[in-house]
Amino acid sequence: MPEAQPPAVAKKPVRLTPDDYKDMLMNAPVGILSSTPDGRFTYVNSSLARMFGYDSPHEMMNSVEDIGAQLYADPGDREEIKRLLKKNDKILNYECSFIRRDGSLFWASFDIRAVRDRGGEVIHLHGFFSDITEHVERRNSLLRTQFAMDRAPDSILWIDDEGWIVYANDSSCASMGYTREELLSMKVFDIDPDFPPEDWEWHKKEVRRRGSMAFESRPRRKDGSLFPVEVSTNHFKYNDLYLACAFDRDITERRQAENALRRRLSYERLLSDICTMAVTAGNLDDFLDQSITIMGETMAVSRAYLFEHRHETDVMDNTYEWCAEGIVPQKDNLQGLPSGILSWWVETLKSGRNINFMNIEDIPDEATKKILRPQGIFSILVVPLFVRSRYYGFIGFDDCLQHSFWPKEDVDVLLSIARVIAVVIERRDEEKKLSLERLQLLSIFDSIEESIYVSDPNTYEILFVNQALEKLLGKNVIGGICYRELQGLDSPCPFCTNDIILKQHPHAYRWEHYNHELGRAFSLHDSIIRWSDGRSVRLKLAVDITERKLTEEHLKENEELLRSLLEVTPVGVSLLEGRLFKKVNRAFCRITGHTQHELVGMPTSMLYPDEKEFNRVAGELNEQMRRDGLGMREEVMQRKDGKLINVIISLSPVNPENISAGLCATVQDITEQKQAEEALRESEKKYRFLAEAITDIIWTLNLDLKTTYVSPSIAKILGFTPEERIIQDVEQTMTPESYERAMDLLARELEIEKEGGADPGRFVTIETEYYHKDGRTVWMESVVSLMRDCNGNPAGIHGVSRDITERKHAEEEREKLKEQLNRSQKLESIGTLAGGIAHDFNNLLMGIQGHASLMMLDLDPSHPHYIRLKQIEEQIRNGADLTGQLLGFARGGRYELKPTDLNDVIETTSGMFGRTKKEISIHKKLNNNLWIVEADRTQMGQVFMNLFVNAWQAMPGGGEIFLETANHHVRNKETHPLAQGKYVKITVSDTGMGMDAQTREQIFDPFFTTKGMGRGTGLGLATVYGIIKGHGGMIDVTSEPGQGTTFEIYLPTTEKTVVREDAVNGECSGGTETILLIDDEVMVLDVARAMLQSLGYRVYCAGSGQEGVAVYHEKKDEIDLVILDMIMPGISGGEAFDRLREIDPTQKVLPSSGYSVDGKARQILEKGCNGFLQKPFRLEQLAREVRTALEPKEGSP
């Protein structure tokens, strides 16, 4: 049976005394109060007193006499509360802002009710208070953020892991036409047809892997239209959910501008192609067919066509048509359309107006619409075609897929094409007319009994002979060569009149000729006519005068002989007897300027400047004539007008057997020939002088690429003489890359020549790298063209080359500077982030360092915890060194700038490094008169140590480091990235493995390292770069694999002198002064206060700049020193400093910061601060800086 259970013992209820209740109220976690309606407290608990900054409830009740005026930020809030409570007895919940004892504001939420007496009058107010400051600030921040996003000009969408839209701003709704509620019920795939759902998982992974992505897409509006956007997307975590944030920027206008530009360029190309075809068109049908085709393809229409109006039958025919793929041709259905049924259409076009309708149903003529509807046309554009101002037809195109609007630009293009086609049709009609006239002319020629033929004056080809000439020759010679078929010669006739008739066209040339091949004499009539193919050809009419000539010659043989000698010849002829003129011909008169009457009977000496000159010429001619039978000299004669002319004089006896019978003297005027020869010599001399004096190189090659000429300037530019260059192969004169580029260009140009139609005067420009005689290379820019023979065919190459080496080097330098600027901007943005991280990390280290220092004060050095605390301090110093690197990298992270001799820093760091790395030999070449720079010595030491370590790691088997310092003056800032001025240059070189170009480009990037994971931070050289940039300097690197590495550093100089520093005493000395400590970090505030109190100081604390100013204003007579944090929300350290100095301009202030002594800290120091306290600081550092700030400087009162 079960065991008996003990009887249950009843628990006695715990009874609380009134004191227990009072204690519970006093220590409750929320503020509790009771007050009178007129604003005085009757009860306050501890939580409420602390909330308002009072040490005790008693102090708060005694200090506050008017709750509304002293504690409410807006006293009107209390009046409103009283008004509301007066109306009812319910508990009122209210939020508003209050003022703490130190003047700072905070937000509180409270529940309050009114206690009334029996008469209903309010006698007390009871309430409970809670501090909601953080909640209000978070809420306000969220509201501000949401307001900014809602009002952003770009669309912003938040998308969850399944693609649902969970947030959409106003711009998203406006751009897509949805309400926010509609968008929030959709997935991103619903509005973006370019984004298939199956790609969503890949997209999420890529965004999270990259951090962000950018691409273009086309979302769909509510009305179904698409519009282009530029999308930038990233991801973030919100309430434990990963969300994608997409920023969409509408690029519709940009796309429209791009499309308009492409369309305009395509139109220009269309017109250019049609114009080119028009110039070379041989067949009108082919030209029109091709023109309509490329017009349709370029304009992106359904059909393009040309209709011709047959005036003789008054019908229209669709003669040419092009159709896009899938469009049914209509050409066969549109033949013989009577103009009468389309009178509106025809009259509109005949009047010069265009037909342009986006919707053919808008055409006012029903007959026209009946023709167009069966063709499936939605839109149409047609322009008239006029040939010689007469209506010829029309060209146009239509759209069978959609309603299209063709703007003025499209209409203008179509009108231009119509004008080109009209010109080609006019040309065809002219050619037909000429062909008909030619046939008529040839028919007439065949009916003439005299011989007629037509030949090409350039090729001598016989193009036509009439029946009379064909009968005379006994064969058909069309296609033969005239001098061969008609004269029996192997080369052009010496008496050919082609040049004469070409020069005096349109006038004919008449002459007579005896044809030895035919044995006949002819009277010839030569003229130039236009042949059917447009050529200028020779028309010859030959009248047979053989019989007449024989008769005349027999009758006048002697007389004609003399007359031809004296009158016909262009040479001046005279008969002399006894040195007197007996007879002269007209040519002689023309040459001398005298008439026959003035010459006949006169002495020949009258044609010479003086008697002496005449005797000389006459003597030499007579002597030559007696010796050789003929005297001939080139001399100078004087005309009647006194002008001297150059002549060739020939003197021979009329009867060689009897010289006294008389002499025959001929005179040929060669003045113009002499002048031309002299001009030619001067021109040749001038152009040869230009070619030899010009600084550029002028050269020519034959088509076998052998140099045929090169100007002397080659010696100055490339070191070779012209003679040396001529025997060199072209391939030997330039680098292989340049030779290959030049050969490609030549092949391309010769291919263009083969195709025909190229501009014979064109030239091209090419840049090539030539070899100098001394082995270096020289960049040349050459302007090259083809030389041509008399037939216009390429015969060689001509070029002018200019030295552009300096320009090429300048371009390379500009690219290098641009690359450096990009790297600097990238590092600057990362550096800003690094500086913020270093600041926050230093504050954390400060808390650890302070507590460690305080604990060590209470421990004997032999205590085991003491050693561990020392190790903690060491780790803190390592962390501080790391933040120092971050601050150095952050550009502007300079701790303390002082005039510095960098030789001292290099000696110290190289000595320290050399003692630990015995396998490295260090060579120093230091300038003893090195200029002074203003630098942070600690950071400069860090720069050189990082460079030494980098060199050591590049020489695992040992090696050498070379250090050099020098003074450097930058005078030309156009070719140097530094501003003009004086700099100190430091060179650090090693004999290590060197770097390739890719590594060299990245060595200054943060976190880049060539060492394995865990073996380096990648901050060493990035820190070097940041420190040097922060000092206003520049660092550059040169390196090749296997050739070592050289770093060059440039730092600006200062005129200040170096100040040598005394050794720092490590003892901690305190004092009894009063210090105000201002810092927004509670942890730093607590530990710094404890450290100062351990040194004997009296400390006031303030958690913000505003509170610090308030405390100082109240306690300024007690405070000896203010330790002021530089970076605080609200009132910053700089603003707090200014307000403290407004209260007391002599107040001592010691700035403190987790940043370095630069930026705002530097500005405050320049205003007269008392040192600088760098976080994290040890107790001895704090003691030293405080004593230094408190103790008066030497010479001060």
Kindly provide the b/e burial profile for residues 500-515, where b requires at least 16 CB atoms within 10 angstroms of the residue's own CB. ebeeeeeeebeeebeb
Taking 90 as the threshold, does the pLDDT of residue 673 lie above it? no
Q: Which residues contact 411 (CB under 8 A, 6 or more apart)?
A: 354, 356, 381, 383
pTM of model > 0.85: no
Average pLDDT of the chain to the nearest whole number: 83
Best CA proximity match to 457, nearest among 529, 543, 532, 544: 529
Is residue 947 predicted with pLDDT exceeding 80?
Answer: yes
Residue 921, strand partner residues? 960
What 8-state DSSP symbol labels residue 226? B
> Which tens digits make up the pLDDT trace of 499-536?
888 888 888 899 888 888 888 888 888 998 888 777 88
Sign of the alpha-carbon torsion through 25, 31, 37, 38: positive
CA–CA distance, 797 with 784 (Å, rounded to integer): 7
CA pair distance 1072, 1098, nearest whole angstrom: 7
User: pLDDT digits over 900-941, tens only?
Assistant: 999 999 998 888 888 878 888 999 999 999 999 998 887 888
CB 682 within 8 A of CB 676: no
Q: What pLDDT, on a 0 to 100 scale, did the predictor assign at position 557?
A: 62
Sequence-distant (≥ 6) Cβ neighbours of residue 527 within 8 angstroms: 501, 505, 506, 507, 508, 509, 538, 539
Sorting pLDDT into bands at 50, 70 and 90, what band is 1026? confident
Which of these ranges, 233-237, 689-693, 821-825, 1082-1086, has the smallest mean pLDDT? 689-693
**pLDDT value of residue 395:** 94
Give 127's strand partners.
Answer: 33, 112
1007 three-state secondary structure: coil
Name the band, by pLDDT with cuts 50, 70 and 90, for residue 1012.
Answer: very low
Mean pLDDT over 115-127 rounds to: 87
Adjacent-strand bridge partners of 114? 125
φ, ψ of residue 493 to 5 degrees: the values are -60, 135
What is the residue-wise DSSP string for 4-70? PPPPPPPPPPP---HHHHHHHHHT-SSEEEEE-TTS-EEEE-HHHHHHTT-S-HHHHHHH-S-HHHH
CB-based contact 167:241 (threshold 8 Å): no
- pLDDT-wise least confident of 143-147, 462-466, 531-535, 980-984: 143-147
DSSP one-letter string for 432-453: HHHHHHHHHHHHHHHH-SSEEE
Q: What is the mean pLDDT of residues 849-875?
A: 74
pLDDT of 486 above 50: yes
Backbone angles phi, psi at 454, to 5 degrees: -120, 135
Residue 358 pLDDT grade (very low, low, confident, very high; cuts 50, 70, 90):
very high
> Quick one: what percent of the chain has pLDDT higher than 70?
87
Choose among 974, 875, 890, 987: nearest CA to 930: 987
State the pLDDT at residue 7.
52
pLDDT tens per residue across span 739-765: 999 999 888 888 888 887 778 778 888
Across 845-880, b (16+ Cβ under 10 Å) vs e yields: bbbbbbbbbbebeeeeeeeeeeeebeebbeebeebb
Q: How many CA atoms lie within 13 A of 290 on its CB side?
A: 16
pLDDT at position 825 is 60
What integer pLDDT is reported at residue 3 of this predicted model? 47
Between residues 661 and 1122, the one the model is more confident about: 1122
DSSP string, 480-537: SBHHHHTT--SS--TT--HHHHHHHTTS-EEEEEEETTTTEEEEEEEEEEE-TTS-EE
Q: What was the pLDDT predicted at 687?
A: 55
User: Both tokens of residue 1030?
Assistant: 């922060």
Nearest partner of 169 among 253, 245, 230, 251, judged by Cα: 245
List the one residue out of 358, 351, 350 whose CA is nearest residue 381.
358
What residues form DSSP beta bridges with 1036?
Answer: 1048
Radius of gyration of the chain (CA): 54
- pLDDT, position 1168: 67
**pLDDT attached to residue 1063:** 46
**All domains of the chain in start order, with CATH:** 18-137 (3.30.450.20), 151-250 (3.30.450.20), 266-432 (3.30.450.40), 448-544 (3.30.450.20), 567-677 (3.30.450.20), 694-803 (3.30.450.20), 895-1059 (3.30.565.10), 1074-1190 (3.40.50.2300)
For the cut 90, the answer to whether the pLDDT of residue 98 exceeds it is yes
Q: Output the pLDDT for position 1076.
A: 92
Model pLDDT, residue 380 = 95
Q: Which helix (H) or strand (E) holds 244?
A: strand 241-250
Cα atoms found within 13 Å of the Cα of residue 859, Cβ hemisphere only: 16
Q: Is the peptide bond before 977 cis (omega within 30 degrees of 0)?
A: no
CA atoms within 13 A on the CB side of 669: 17
Q: pLDDT grade, residue 363 (50/70/90)?
A: very high
Q: How far apart are CA 471 and CA 202, in angstroms?
A: 94
Cα–Cα distance measured from residue 463 to residue 480, given in angstroms and rounded to the nearest whole number: 8
Give dist(CA 93, CA 311) in Å, integer. 99
- Rounded to an integer, what distance in angstroms lies between the CA atom of residue 969 and that of residue 952? 31
User: What average pLDDT score do residues 851-877 get?
Assistant: 74
* Confidence check: pLDDT of 1107 > 50: yes
- Which residues pair with residue 988 across a beta bridge? 963, 1047
Residue 816: is its pLDDT beyond 60? yes
Residue 464's φ and ψ, nearest 5 degrees, are: -160, 140
